[in-house]
Structure 1
Amino acid sequence: MSDSSLNYERVERQMASADIESTGAEVHGILCGLICAGREDAQARWFAELFTEMQATDLLVRECANSLKVLHDETLAAVTGPGLGFTPFLPDEEVPIKQRAQAVADWCQGFLYGIGVAGLSADHDFSTETQDALSSLSEITRMDLDHLDGGEEDEESLTEIAEFIWVAAMLVHAEMVADETERS
């Protein structure tokens, strides 16, 4: 499901080695929340959430940070560049559906957290459409995974949800870019 040059499972192993307890999807969601909210210091803020200064000399942490920097650079280029934007960093389609669905929920949780870390409060003056999209992201974080059986209908639903989270993120980004343009 991801267009990144990075392998999802490898990044998760690196994160575990660096004592980051979040999933790759959640970590990417945080980054996307920061970028879409318009934080120019998104990478620095993201790294501050993930790493402590004491970890800076640890080889495994540096290896993880290097991979996450690649993820940041690819995501930033995709969000701010021409084209349709980024693809959420999620496990490959060979992974069981419950794990992929959990990753989608984790991504949404991370995105909402990233928006909060970026300094956008719950009472930010988003359009009704964007407020509804953010509310839907919140609902996705509570998705019931126990009833997924991996059938074609579940696969289609998960694909639609993954596409929706992209749309929701790009709505936030478009509004924040419009807000910045108006303030300039």
Structure 2
Amino acid sequence: MNDPERYTTVAAALTEVEAEVSAAEAHGMLCGLFCTPDEPEAARWMAQVLEGLSPKGEPARTVLEALTELYHDTRDRLQNDSLEFEPLLPDDDEPLERRATALGQWCEGFLFGLGIARGQAPSPLPREANEVVTDLTEIARIDTDTEGDEDSEIAYTELVEYLRAATLLVREHTALPSSTRPADGGTPPTDLLH
């Protein structure tokens, strides 16, 4: 369902530098930042994730490598037409409480990243994307003190799938270039003006 090895690597690297941002939240933030026509700068995202920290030595190298790999993997999966994108969350073998907490953090990160991205491109969101924002706001408040029964597991799985589809939907409405936008970003061709 998700990439538990990558999650573990990023989480360990962030813990090593005492980052306040979790692996899930960092990934959600990155996905929100990718919801703009302009590709977000990796360095800017990393600075946001590591805000207030000054990691040095091997922990600094490790966290920068982990975040760089996460950035490139996320970009590639979001731009890939084969729909390989998945939110970065703990392994399904982890206790449901831990996975639910990470799910809420992922949503918080996404909303934060989307807010930054929308600040750069302040046009209103389409109705479908607004509905997703409302849903993610609710999911961010997920009750993490829940029993790990079969119904809760099914609900969790459905929420993860919803996040995957919702991210791709918002990105489609906010990041993909408009067919009327000039490819080079310059002035529109004159034949469109007549």
TM value normalised by structure 1? 0.88
Deviations 1:43-99 (A, max 9, x none): 122112023697364320121110111111111000012211411000001100011
Equivalent residues of 2:35, 2:171 under 8 A apart: yes
Show the counterpart of 2:149. 151
Q: CA deviation at 1:128?
A: 1.2
Q: Comparing 172-181 with 14-23, which one deviates more in the overlay?
A: 172-181
Instruction: Considering fraction of residues, name the structure with more helix.
Output: 1
CA RMSD, 1 decimal: 2.3
For the structure 1 residues 111 and 52, does the alpha-carbon distance in structure 2 shift closer, same or farther, using more than 3 Å as the test? closer
SS at match of 2:37: coil
SS at match of 1:7: helix
Show the counterpart of 2:47. 48
Using the alignment, how far apart are the partners of 2:171 and 2:163 within structure 1? 12
Using the alignment, how far apart are the partners of 1:53 and 1:96 within structure 2? 31
Using the alignment, how far apart are the partners of 2:147 and 2:166 within structure 1? 26
TM value normalised by structure 2? 0.84
Show the counterpart of 1:86. 85
After the TM superposition, list the runs of 4 or more consecutive aligned residues in structure 1 that deviate by more than 6 angstroms: none
Equivalent residues of 1:34, 1:42 under 8 A apart: no
Show the counterpart of 1:2. 2
Aligned residues: 182
Show the counterpart of 1:68. 67
SS at match of 1:36: coil
Using the alignment, how far apart are the partners of 1:160 and 1:94 within structure 2? 16
Query: Structure 1 stretches of 5 or more lacking a match?
Result: none
Query: Structure 2 stretches of 5 or more lacking a match?
Result: 183-194
Q: Comparing 132-141 with 121-130, which one deviates more in the overlay?
A: 121-130
